[in-house]
Amino acid sequence: MREKLIKLIYEKAFKYSKTPIFRLTSGGLSNYYFNCKAVTLSPEGMYLIGNIIYDMIADLNVKGIGGLTLGADPIATAVAYTSYLRSNPVEAFVVRKKAKEHGTMQWIEGNIKEGDSVVVVDDVITTGSSTIQAITRLKEAGIFVKKVVVLVDRQEGGRENILKFLEECGFPANLEAVVLRDDVMQFIK
């Protein structure tokens, strides 16, 4: 399944240029770019991601899986659906980029609460800032992060930043990437 997912990411989500033309969230320019929504929102991508990541977290005994909207949302939903099919339901949740401005004014949406343990997911990490933002909101809500799973690690320092932040928060330094940049770059000729 993982090899099929790497190929799907290369075909649908990966863009490459000999010169750096892609502006990243971090502000820098790169000669390659991953737009994983083309994979995470596709039926085949959801199937592969749901099964692969579910297998990575099945034994963790967590209440939920989610992360910062929008990158994490389809991943968390795919895993939650797969978990239900496998008779081990894990709730999907969403961490907002800003608090809801009406009603309960929540940062986190879903069926998780203070004291629960969760897995944080993200589609792509470069510096890790989006993942760190999600972890921060969860810690403030009294929710324990057992693991971080990223779909694609660009291998540009994000992993190290997230691991350091997890330790600072008192959470396990537990991060796993499904796909590395190098797994996809092997297809460039």
pLDDT digits (tens, 9 = 90+) for 49-94: 999 999 999 999 999 999 999 999 999 999 999 999 999 999 999 9
130 is in an annotated binding site: yes
CA distance 76 to 185: 26
The model's pTM: 0.95
CA distance 112 to 68: 15
123 is in an annotated binding site: yes
104 is in an annotated binding site: no
Contact present, 129 and 71 (Cβ < 8 Å): no
131 is in an annotated binding site: no
125 is in an annotated binding site: yes
Q: What's the pLDDT at 27?
A: 80
Name which residue leads in pLDDT, 86 or 106. Answer: 86
Segments making up each domain of the chain, as ranges: 1-186
Mean of the per-residue pLDDT values for the chain?
A: 95
Using the predicted structure, report yes or no on whether residue 103 has a pLDDT greater than 70: no
Q: What average pLDDT does range 3-8 have in this prediction?
A: 97
Q: What's the pLDDT at 46?
A: 98
Q: What's the pLDDT at 28?
A: 81
Directed axis angle between helix 158-169 and helix 129-140, to 10°? Answer: 10
Q: What average pLDDT does range 168-188 have in this prediction?
A: 96
Place 185 in a pLDDT band, splitting at 50, 70 and 90. very high
pLDDT digits (tens, 9 = 90+) for 26-44: 788 999 999 999 999 999 9
Using the predicted structure, report yes or no on whether residue 126 has a pLDDT greater than 70: yes
Name which residue leads in pLDDT, 175 or 104. Answer: 175
Q: What's the pLDDT at 106?
A: 87
Q: What's the pLDDT at 99?
A: 76
Contact present, 126 and 152 (Cβ < 8 Å): no
Contact present, 90 and 63 (Cβ < 8 Å): yes
β-strand partners of 93: 66, 110
pLDDT digits (tens, 9 = 90+) for 142-177: 999 999 999 999 999 999 999 999 999 999 999 999
124 is in an annotated binding site: yes
CATH T-level topology, domain 1-186: Rossmann fold (3.40.50)
128 is in an annotated binding site: yes
